[in-house]
Amino acid sequence: MVIKIAIIGGGSAYAPGLLHAFIRHAGDFAGAELALMDIAADNLDVVHRLGSSMVEAAQANLRLTATTNRRTAIADANYVLTSFRQGGFEARHQDESIPLKHGVIGQETIGPGGFFFAMRTLPVIKAIVTEMAELAPQAVLVNYTNPTQIVAEAVNHFANVPVISICDQSNSDLQNILAALDIKKPTEVKYESVGLNHATWSTRFQVNGQDGVDLMHDACGAVLARPDVSNRVKRQFRLTREFDRVPNSYLQYYYYREETLVEAQAAPHTRAQQIVAALPDYYTH
């Protein structure tokens, strides 16, 4: 059966990476339609043209479509993958900066900032699951929109649409930890964790047959002394030393509240401002 996957937020600068992943696994999605949908028509056009070239270059058996109409994208879909940012990065800047004025960390999934973001996101998710029930009643919602844990809870409690919530933070954390350990090309890495989005702990970590937690213990002193390793990663090593488990890097906001607050208040720009400054070059490229 040929499947249809609607990608809500398909004009995002992150979307080409998502399309690249589908292309890499094109054998598992043979003949699938990837229906890109976004309200930012110009950005959507760029991503659609780039994605189409990627599919053609890889000779992947995938069909890429694009629309600014959400109902059109959702109609008859087997999966609806949500990856959008309601309010854009301008709103994210407010999420991050307003709490800092009151001595509280500002972050897109943590504390007041995360709650601000959830209050903007949930009405859109509600509309999407309503449209899914009408236009694609057999479809599964695959949510990649933050704050993913709140979205998953809301859909589970107040809708009849099956939902899978995903987050790639553990993968990013793992790459940073391996870099801090100076392990550039491991032959085998096994990493598993449990918990909610941005609040997870490892249950298994092995690198080339060795216990990864032991490797972090042995390297902790050297890593903490290195100026090229970020404080965020160093805090993961500190927490691993204390708990014998690898924490999600976002747990720094809970265990090192004062440190992270001071850093955020001292930073010349919020993360949202940094991303906004970089986005034009992404689309130009």
> CA angle, 169 as apex, 180 and 49 as ends, to 5°?
110
Active-site residue identified among 144, 191, 250, 253 = 250
The bridge status of strand 62-67 relative to strand 163-165 is unpaired
d(CA 127, CA 155): 11
Specify the DSSP class assigned to residue 138. T
- N- to C-terminal Cα distance for the chain? 36
Question: Is 250 a catalytic site residue?
Answer: yes
> CA angle, 74 as apex, 69 and 75 as ends, to 5°?
100
Kindly state the helix (H) or strand (E) to which residue 114 belongs, with its residue range.
Answer: helix 111-135
Tokens of residue 145, six digits: 């929109």
The two most distant CA atoms of the chain are separated, in Å, by 57
Active site residues: 250
